[in-house]
Chains A and B, each alone.
Chain A
Amino acid sequence: MMKSLSLRNNLVGYTFISPFVIGFLIFTLIPAAASLYFSFTDYDLLSAPNWIGLENYTSMFTSDDRYMQSLKVTMLYVFLGVPLRLIFALFVAMILNTTSKAVGLYRTVYYLPSIIGGSVAVSIMWRNLFGDQGVINVMLNSIGIDSVRWFGDPNAALFMLVTLSVWQFGSSMLIFLAGLKNIPTELYEASGVDGAGFFTKFFRITLPMLTPIILFNLIMQLISAFMTFVPAYIISKGEGGPLDGTLLYSLYLFRQAFVFFDMGYASAMAWVMLIIVGVLTAAVFATSKLWVHYETEGGR
């Protein structure tokens, strides 16, 4: 009697979580397991996979120059783009953390790029902005700098991708804004009475109080930056050019899977990326003891 009652009680619970559980199984766990299996095969989408052991993994690091190039490009993109984006997001959040009446409108407006960032319209806009007669080059010329071939120079093209990523600072900005609102105003008032200026307040109060939020944003942005695909895809027309300068990891993975039909190799690449991201995230967590400041329970 008791047993069936508890089963029935639990059943209600299971029913409530079933949409998530079923979705997780079908769309995450099973595909992930399949990709792990495929990563040890020569699966080509069109015929049955054959087991080839670790060959995909070894050839990645021994005989594929383009893989190394994509890894290099991605690292550059992440280590340039993420800090810049976070700094910019914090900067805008500080500006918006005021009591203007139009602040709601501003927040929406500044969030917009994050929504439309992956669209084809943006790539067309970017092509116009960075074209030979584009605004950027005209501005550079007006201050005496020669035009840059944004789409033709591999380093410039990657830098252009970084600016696109910085421009999509919306979600980090909102989170920073929420964090800023939570810093008690007494702290600023008290420090103001003690004669602290803007920079002292920023470095002694705002930043330390914000470190948990920075940690959160850093990890989220790190992960999403590694998975960046759409901007590189649309700006380089799916090829990662010029000279493989915008061949981000996911773009190369996509090309292996759906252009070259090497799904086994692409799966192996995906697992290597998971390991890289995992290690980096763990490293960030490990260092967080040194720089993240929690208000509660004696700094923990």
Chain B
Amino acid sequence: MKKQAKKVVLALMASALMLATACGSNAGTNSETGTNAGTNSGGGDKPITLRMAWWGSEARHEYTKKVIDLYKTKNPNVTIEVEYANYDDYWKKIAPQAAANELPDIMQIDTGYYAQYAGKGQLADLTPYFGKEIDVTNISENALNGGKLGDGVFGMNLGVNSLGFQYDPATLAKAGIDSIPENWSWDDYLSIAAKAKENGIYIDGGMRAEVFFGYYLRTVGKKLYNDAGNGLGYEDDQLFVDFFGKLADLVKSGAAPTPDTLAQIKGVEDDMTVKGTQVGVWQWSNQFVALQQAVNRPMEIAPMLNPGAKEGLYLKPSMFFSISKNSKAKEEAAKFINFFVNDAEANKLILGERGVPVSSVIKEELKPLLSPEQVQVFDYVAWSEANSSPMDPVDPIGAIEVFASLKSLTEQLNYGQISAEDAAKKFRSEAENVLKKNK
């Protein structure tokens, strides 16, 4: 018996060890400290260390580090420590840092999380730096106000995005359709989808619930959230039923893929637009270049659906740079943000990957350097500028949870497990349950 106990203990210790190593190997982070690249003296400036964090793809990490190196050669007294990750991991790293009052000096943030951090006093108001450390002469008021919350602007808009239907004309032709009509409407869209279905081709992979429902509400003069941010901005659940009912009918009729088909997609190699079995994707303009590269055929961007496309469409800040409230070097952080937004050399590295630049001068400077696909994006955003309406106030605190509820309900709707009417009611009660906390 004793021997057995010993063995059990040994086995346990062994397994504990394995577990410990297994956990340890997952905990790797992408932190590195940049060294001071410049050797010339900084004119007696005292050394400054900034921490900076962002999310993104490998390509974004690479060019962002190059921009930082460029900044350091021009400002040898500044050292910038970088932390980066993919989108999901990024927010999981940032949240505990916020709880510990250790947010980076400069952090990238997007509209979904913006209110959460800015509204809870984690971010510094940038207004005092506008016109001083941050040059705003070439940036429109509209673009700056993308980061407005209450009386302050807590994030510098890094670039703008616009919504559209990014499609492959070759697949469209295969589906038996010559072209997408110029000011196409919901009826055009539904009839094109039906025709494509007859030829065995999906029209799209669905519309991302919160983004496109928000658009739809704008086209009829409503908003997703009310102005106080403590409830929904529309009263008539019929709007929900109209919008999601149409989309669910497309799924039911086989014109758009079912959710279980979508769930089986492993990666780009299974993507149906790439394979030519789906006409296109409804998404933000900064995702166009990556999609086009994956598809590797000429692609087009069609505008949003009428009626009310002009009222519905808006330019959205793709992301912000914010300065944390606890930063000890806010002016220096602001100077770096200015460099990122206004420096021509820096933007030749960025090339609009964080959205079409907000500075009109930079936009012009970049034009000759862009690839044909990037030009398409710049042109579409320029067109949108003239054919859109100002953005709604930023999403309120709790928006992420409201999105999750909307996503789950539309999923149930597309699986046919719930009626559009019930989903509308349930969404209202779940969303208001979350939003009522914002008194």
Contact = CB atoms under 8 A, between A and B. Distances in A.
Nearest to B11: A174
A212 B22 CA distance: 28
A101 B78 CA distance: 63
A299 B327 CA distance: 67
Contact of A116 (B22, B261, B417): B22
A260 B401 contact: yes
Contacts of B92: 258
Interface stretch (B48-56, B262-270, B336-344, B382-390): B262-270
Contact residue range for chain A? 35 or more
Given A132-B264, A244-B408, A175 B11 contact: yes
A152 B260 contact: yes
Nearest to B18: A115
Contacts of B263: 149, 151-152, 241-242
A259 interface: yes
Interface string A232-250: 0000011101111000000
Interface majority SS (helix, strand, loop, mixed), chain A = loop
B95 A45 contact: yes
B21 to A, nearest CB: 7
B99 interface: yes
Contact of B98 (A45, A115, A170, A182): A45
A150 to B, nearest CB: 8
A259 to B, nearest CB: 6
Contacts of A45: 95-96, 98-99
A118 B259 contact: no
B433 A216 contact: no
A46 B99 contact: yes
B4 A149 contact: no
A174 B261 contact: no
B254 to A, nearest CB: 15
A258 B22 CA distance: 23
A114 B18 contact: yes
A171 B11 contact: yes
Nearest to A213: B8
Given A244-B408, A296-B1, A47 B417 contact: no
Interface size class of B (residues with CB under 8 A): 35 or more
A149 B265 CA distance: 11
Contacts of A296: 1
Interface in B51-106: 88, 91-92, 95-96, 98-99
B168 to A, nearest CB: 22
Most buried by B among A47, A149, A175, A261: A261
A216 B8 contact: yes
Interface in B275-318: none
Contacts of A116: 22
A152 B7 contact: no
A197 B260 CA distance: 49
B152 interface: no
Interface in A130-186: 131-132, 149-153, 170-171, 174-175, 178-179, 181-182
A10 interface: no
A130 B19 CA distance: 26
A63 interface: yes
B8 A258 contact: no
Contacts of A170: 15
B15 A119 contact: no
Contacts of A119: 22, 25-26
Interface string A96-130: 00000000000000010011111100000001100
Contacts of B25: 119
Contacts of A115: 18, 21-22
A185 to B, nearest CB: 14
B439 interface: no
Given A149-B263, A213-B8, A44 B120 contact: yes
Interface string B393-418: 00000101100100010011001010
Contact of B95 (A150, A174, A261): A261
A243 B26 contact: no
B21, B266, B401: residue with the most chain A Cβ atoms closer than 10 Å:
B266
B324 to A, nearest CB: 11
Given A45-B96, A63-B433, A171-B11, A261 B116 contact: yes
A295 interface: yes
Interface of A: 42, 44-47, 63, 66, 111, 114-119, 127-128, 131-132, 149-153, 170-171, 174-175, 178-179, 181-182, 213, 216, 237-239, 241-244, 255, 258-263, 295-296
5 contacts: A45-B95, A46-B98, A132-B264, A149-B264, A178-B4
The 3 closest A-B pairs by CB, nearest first: A152-B260, A178-B7, A152-B263
